[in-house]
Chains A and B, each alone.
Chain A
Amino acid sequence: MNLRAVRAIYAFEMARTGRTMLQSIVSPVVSTSLYFVVFGAAIGARIPEVEGVSYGAFIVPGLIMLMLLTQSVMNASFGIYFPRFTGTIYEILSAPISYFEVVLGYVGAAATKSVILGLVVLATSWLLIPLHIAHPVWMIAFLLLTAVSFSLFGFILGLWADGFEKLQVVPLLIITPLTFLGGTFYSINLLPPAWQTVALCNPVVYLISGFRWSFFETADVSVALSLAMTVLFLAVCLATVWVMFKTGYRLKK
């Protein structure tokens, strides 16, 4: 194991993040605060409790997930796409480093950043709304698992994309809608039965549900199912990356 290489890639990526940390932190804090003002305070005041939780608190896990998913995908995809675009990937390819180590460095850094942002959003929420976290350890576990899975997904996106448009379009047209429809702002139990079935095809539903359970012990689907689906998604991403690397897909000519 070339741990020095993993560390080098990780530190390189974290330094890149560090240079833009201020923007990276300010914008999620601002947008989260806006969501709270609009949905939590203004609209939420007229919404009764959802499954025994005040609406303002109810949306917190969903908002954190929204942030976690988009940031993970964007960071990881950009992290690997950019060296492909500029050509500096030649150095990674010529280094004595396994594909697993490459993934570890890039995905680890992307996941770290989104976990930090997730915690920042959580802290912001804390200031705005009374919150009680029932299962902090599970909360962190879901946070990490989701950050890693979607950073991997972003990594795949960054390998597959052959232009900046695709990098932007996937988070915008796939991740954000799935998150909104996945129960960020509502419990899918509130949907008509037919739509509930449709909603269950959305992997994000399981993430948000499990994450929300760790806060309030209320969930749309069982926690075990949430966990299983998250791990399954992680496994699918890992397998995809493995195949891509094995075949040198879009990396080696």
Chain B
Amino acid sequence: MQPILSVTNVSKTYASGFRALEHVNLDIRRGEIFALLGPNGAGKTTLISIICGIVTLSEGTVSVAGYDIGRDYRKTRSMIGLVPQELTTDAFETVWATVSFSRGLFGKPRNDAYVEKVLKELSLWDKKDNKIMTLSGGMKRRVLIAKALAHEPQILFLDEPTAGVDVELRQDMWDIVRALRAEGVTIILTTHYIDEAEEMADRIGVMHKGEIILVEDKAELMRKLGKKQLTLHLQKRLEAIPEALAAHRLTLAPGGGEIIYTYDTQGERTGITALLKDLNLAGIRFRDLHTTQSSLEDIFVDLVRQRR
């Protein structure tokens, strides 16, 4: 099936000379929820801004449902809705006015029933006549979502949708995202939280320093990323791991004072209970233990290294 969004060899050099994107290739499937995962400054917003027409690209092409974003910008842009990262809203307009404005701006005929439905879904209905400047930050974010949905887009971009958002809105947002997906809307969101990508996405793309270093189905990526380490601080140093424990594939830290056990948090069984039992049987005692999860930073470093 033709991808609904196709980014081919896109690079971006800002006027300052900063190279924000480096030969990015990415295909988005129709109807999926795609999470673009990466630390601050990775280039997520730059990539989204190029696709939406806010930033010009330096090299490469982007097509939406087969249409080029330059040549056929009217077609591509009318298919796309964008919720920007920053809370950029009008101030003096009412919620109703600003959402209706967005619909008109994207060339859709007036449809009060639809705008009403969007506002209700976003719990904005009772605020529809309020001026935007009187709303809280969370409410403003809802307004931005309503504006992005006002023209019934087929593709929705959510740039860091949970930054500075309370639990309730976060939950609402995910409900809306799921409902939109059920209607066939393709959703692309950016985040720097692994768990957020894990919670929502069908596929995950990892960005680092302007490059997409990996695109993977969520389940697969989580298996790769979801590793944890259990470190046992021993009472007595060991020369080597005893034969009896070989099945657990343990590592002995240099110096012999710590045993490290790596396990998969996604697995049916972590094997921790069995390990502890076998340690006990082998007469190995420990005075402390701790677990660590590879940080996103470690994972990126790992991924970058693997690629080289």
Q: How large is the interface on A (under 10, 10 to 19, 20 to 34, 35 or more residues)?
A: 20 to 34
Q: CA of A206 to CA of B73 in the docked complex: distance in angstroms?
A: 41
Q: CA of A96 to CA of B151 in the docked complex: distance in angstroms?
A: 11
Instruction: Give the interface centre of A9, A12, A92 by most chain B CB atoms within 10 Å.
Output: A12
Interface of A is mostly: helix
Q: Is the CB of A95 within 8 A of B88?
A: no
Q: Which of A83-91, A145-153, A163-171 contacts B (4 or more CB under 8 A)?
A: A83-91
Cβ contacts under 8 Å, A93 to chain B:
52-54
Shortest distance between the CB of A245 and any CB in chain B (Å): 12
B81-124 Cβ-contact flags toward A at 8 Å (1 or 0): 01010101111110001000111111111000000000000000
Q: Does A19 contact B (CB under 8 A)?
A: yes
Q: Is the CB of A253 within 8 A of B107?
A: no
Q: Is the CB of A87 within 8 A of B56?
A: no
Q: Is the CB of A95 within 8 A of B93?
A: no
Q: Is the CB of A90 within 8 A of B74?
A: no
Q: Is the CB of A253 within 8 A of B15?
A: yes
Q: Does A229 contact B (CB under 8 A)?
A: no
Q: Is the CB of A95 within 8 A of B108?
A: no
Q: Does A15 contact B (CB under 8 A)?
A: yes
Q: Is the CB of A91 within 8 A of B105?
A: yes
Shortest distance between the CB of A130 and any CB in chain B (Å): 42
- The residue from A4, A248, A253 contacting B14, defined by CB atoms under 8 A apart: A253
Q: Is the CB of A96 within 8 A of B106?
A: yes
Q: Does B78 contact A (CB under 8 A)?
A: yes
Q: CA of A96 to CA of B88 in the docked complex: distance in angstroms?
A: 19
Q: Is the CB of A88 within 8 A of B54?
A: no
Q: Does B10 contact A (CB under 8 A)?
A: no
Q: Does A227 contact B (CB under 8 A)?
A: no
Q: Is the CB of A8 within 8 A of B14?
A: no
The count of A-to-B residue pairs whose CB atoms sit within 8 angstroms is 81
- In the complex, chain A residues 1-50 whose Cβ is within 8 Å of any chain B Cβ: 2, 4-5, 7-9, 11-12, 15-16, 19
Q: Is the CB of B101 within 8 A of A94?
A: no
Shortest distance between the CB of B286 and any CB in chain A (Å): 55
Q: CA of A11 to CA of B55 in the docked complex: distance in angstroms?
A: 27
Q: CA of A82 to CA of B125 in the docked complex: distance in angstroms?
A: 27
Cβ contacts under 8 Å, A11 to chain B:
101, 104
Q: Is the CB of A94 within 8 A of B52?
A: yes
- The residue from A2, A12, A16 contacting B74, defined by CB atoms under 8 A apart: A2
Shortest distance between the CB of A86 and any CB in chain B (Å): 6
Q: How large is the interface on B (under 10, 10 to 19, 20 to 34, 35 or more residues)?
A: 35 or more
Q: Is the CB of B147 within 8 A of A96?
A: no
Q: CA of A173 to CA of B107 in the docked complex: distance in angstroms?
A: 40
Q: Is the CB of B55 within 8 A of A15?
A: no
Q: Is the CB of A86 within 8 A of B88?
A: yes
Cβ contacts under 8 Å, B77 to chain A:
94-96
Cβ contacts under 8 Å, A90 to chain B:
52, 54, 82, 84, 88
- In the complex, chain B residues 26-72 whose Cβ is within 8 Å of any chain A Cβ: 49, 52-56
Q: Is the CB of B88 within 8 A of A5?
A: no
Q: CA of A96 to CA of B107 in the docked complex: distance in angstroms?
A: 7
Cβ contacts under 8 Å, A87 to chain B:
84, 86, 88
Q: Does B224 contact A (CB under 8 A)?
A: no
- The residue from B14, B53, B56 contacting A94, defined by CB atoms under 8 A apart: B53
Q: Does B80 contact A (CB under 8 A)?
A: yes
Q: Does B223 contact A (CB under 8 A)?
A: no
Q: CA of A110 to CA of B294 in the docked complex: distance in angstroms?
A: 57
Q: Does B75 contact A (CB under 8 A)?
A: yes
Q: Is the CB of A253 within 8 A of B56?
A: yes
Chain A residue with the shortest CB-CB distance to B157: A94
Cβ contacts under 8 Å, A120 to chain B:
none
Q: Is the CB of A5 within 8 A of B84?
A: no
Q: Is the CB of A8 within 8 A of B75?
A: no
Given A96-B73, A96-B78, residue A91 in contact with residue B147 (CB < 8 A): yes
Q: Is the CB of A5 within 8 A of B105?
A: yes
**B interface vs A, CB < 8 Å?**
14-15, 49, 52-56, 73-78, 80, 82, 84, 86, 88-93, 97, 101-109, 147
26 sampled A-B residue pairs with Cβ under 8 A? A4-B104, A4-B108, A5-B106, A5-B107, A8-B101, A8-B103, A16-B92, A19-B92, A86-B88, A86-B89, A86-B91, A90-B52, A91-B82, A91-B105, A93-B54, A94-B52, A94-B54, A94-B82, A95-B77, A95-B106, A96-B76, A96-B77, A98-B74, A248-B56, A252-B55, A252-B56
Contacts A4-B104, A5-B107, A8-B101 known; 19 new A-B pairs at CB < 8 A: A4-B109, A5-B104, A8-B103, A8-B104, A11-B101, A11-B104, A86-B88, A88-B88, A90-B54, A91-B82, A91-B147, A93-B52, A93-B53, A94-B80, A95-B77, A95-B106, A96-B77, A97-B74, A98-B74
Q: What are the 8 A-B residue pairs with the smallest beta carbon separation, nearest first?
A: A8-B104, A87-B88, A96-B77, A96-B74, A94-B52, A96-B78, A2-B107, A95-B105
